[in-house]
Structure 1
Amino acid sequence: MSFEAPRMVNSKGGQIRIFMPRYGNINERRHQLHEVIRLSGMNLVINDLDMPLIIKVASIPKERMQVYFIDNEDYFKRKATLTDEEGKLFPDNDERAIFFAKGVIETVKKLNWSPDVIHVHGWLASLLPLYLKHYYANEPLFGHSKIVTSVYNSGFDGALDKNMMAKVKFDGIGEEKISDLAKPTYSNLMKVAVDNSDAVIVGSEEIPAELVEHLKTINQPVLEYKKPDEFAEAYEAFYKTEVLV
């Protein structure tokens, strides 16, 4: 859905940009990635360390869409995406999530683009709503932007680094906003994303029971799971009637 949803909006005349990590297993030559110098060249502070932000871009000519890749050699050069060859989560996945959230927002700022809807897919992007609502709360570019988070069943076992909450607190985000990160499991990360979003979409036919229960407690509009042959029309109506109001 992370590709099908923007393709649907794009086909309806919307202006779409896709942002994703530049994982090391992405073939830059095959997909014709190139660094955008005017967007790169800044550092993001992650847990008191300066980490260079590199922005690369590729296009999907058939769909007339551009994909922006958030890159950093320390975080994304490795060939695997989220786990090592033994299936263990990388110990710095929490910092990669912080870097990705900040990197996307800083790139959008440099593009001077004010999106109507920011649609978040996947747990590595789960901190983006939190940072938009709090760390970048006074950024006028996002004053009218609405955040939609899709919740899937593609999570992970165990938890990320136990110091993740302290690393987010370093950015001045109050502990009361991130209490779920005391134990950064998949469900808890998604709770943080959901709680800082303006609307939620259930993207899988089944999601963890803990998230099912959490969605019953929120005030934001929730679009229940839609099958592949009916989601496009449902998403469009949801954007128009529940998000952009």
Structure 2
Amino acid sequence: MNGKKILFVSSELVPYLPENQVSLMSYEAPRMVNSNGGQIRIFMPRYGNINERRHQLHEVIRLSGMNLVINDMDMPLIIKVASIPRERIQVYFIDNEEYFKRKGTFVDKDGNLFQDNDERAIFFAKGVVETVKKLNWSPDIIHVHGWMASLLPLYLREYYADEPIFADSKIVTSVYDKGFDGELDSKMQDKVAFDGIEGSKITSLNTPDYNNLLKVAVDYSDAIILASEEISEDLTEHISNLDKPVLPYVTFQEAEEAYSNFYNTQVLK
């Protein structure tokens, strides 16, 4: 991975959120690349339950200040940054008071999905791309983790199709087991279509459940990693019908060698 640029875009990341499969691998994968001579950038949402003082987040004024249009609404984009000290890894946080100031990550105090999770996902995808453009940093690989990041492949290949900075970037999506129960807002497809993305390309979002969000993600990715031992039959079948490189599930202990080989021999071939 020496010298390769890899952009990691994740729903969750330790040490900022509790440990689970997504947050642990979202930390471990960039750590592996970093220790093997690769260049990395990590992006995640700045949820309201992240302790800014403890983790020393601070706003990057030169990257903030843009408005993103979400379903015909202007939403200010704020960029914050922090470092994971023991690894010397910098993390960029996509923030907006309307979408991310609340104390929950994905659900309210009663355990119900936030009504605007779909808009938060659109905002996150656009926010990442616009910030990377400002950084003028052209990644060789863009690696997506977690359902809140699942719209990024679609937006890169459709909405930002003509952006030269991503012309040679390869997209990898890690697929985990179920990320949430139920469905996002029933008008999600319309909100994505508002950005000029043809309805025929996002028919899965008619029913915006976890599996269908991930189907959209893998459809617009160049390669796929099965990041959980058990993945739903529906998703497994969908992936098997795609003519794309797939890394089968490997244990945490095997991940460093397996991911590195997959990046080098299957994604960057």
TM-score over 0.5 for the pair? yes
Q: How does 1:76-91 map to 2 (within 5 A)?
A: 76-91=100-115
What residue number does 2:135 align with?
111
- TM-score with structure 2 length normalisation? 0.90
Q: What is the distance in 1 between the residues matched to 2:234 and 2:179?
A: 12
2:249 counterpart letter in structure 1: Y
CA-atom RMSD in angstroms: 0.6
- Does 2:216 align with 1:168? no
**Offset at residue 136 of structure 1 (A):** 0.3
Q: How does 1:52-201 map to 2 (within 5 A)?
A: 52-201=76-225
**Offset at residue 202 of structure 1 (A):** 0.3
DSSP-derived class of the 2:91 partner: strand
Match of 1:219 among 233, 238, 243: 243
Question: Could you tell me the percent identity over the aligned residues?
Answer: 73
What residue number does 1:232 align with?
256
**Offset at residue 105 of structure 1 (A):** 0.4
What residue number does 2:21 align with?
none
**Offset at residue 231 of structure 1 (A):** 1.0
Q: What is the distance in 2 between the residues matched to 1:151 and 1:202?
A: 5
Q: What is the distance in 2 between the residues matched to 1:130 and 1:79?
A: 28
CA offsets 1:121-177 (integer angstroms, 9 cap, x no match): 000000000000010000000011010000001411111000000000000001111
Q: What is the distance in 2 between the residues matched to 1:217 and 1:91?
A: 32
**Offset at residue 215 of structure 1 (A):** 1.0
**Offset at residue 61 of structure 1 (A):** 2.5
1:211 counterpart letter in structure 2: L
What residue number does 1:3 align with?
27
Q: What is the distance in 2 between the residues matched to 1:32 and 1:64?
A: 14
Q: What is the distance in 2 between the residues matched to 1:221 and 1:123?
A: 20
2:122 counterpart letter in structure 1: I
Match of 2:46 among 13, 22, 28: 22
Tell me whether 57-66 or 192-201 shows the greater mean CA deviation: 57-66
Q: What is the distance in 1 between the residues matched to 2:153 and 2:240?
A: 19
1:8 counterpart letter in structure 2: M
Q: What is the distance in 2 between the residues matched to 1:62 and 1:111?
A: 24
2:245 counterpart letter in structure 1: P
1:45 counterpart letter in structure 2: V
**Offset at residue 194 of structure 1 (A):** 0.3
Q: What is the distance in 2 between the residues matched to 1:155 and 1:59?
A: 27
- TM-score with structure 1 length normalisation? 0.99
Q: What is the distance in 1 between the residues matched to 2:50 and 2:130?
A: 22
Q: What is the distance in 1 between the residues matched to 2:86 and 2:204?
A: 41
Match of 2:232 among 195, 208, 211: 208
CA offsets 1:208-243 (integer angstroms, 9 cap, x no match): 111011111001100000001101100000000000
2:172 counterpart letter in structure 1: V
Q: What is the distance in 1 between the residues matched to 2:125 and 2:173?
A: 13
Q: How does 1:9-48 map to 2 (within 5 A)?
A: 9-48=33-72
Q: What is the distance in 2 between the residues matched to 1:142 and 1:65?
A: 22
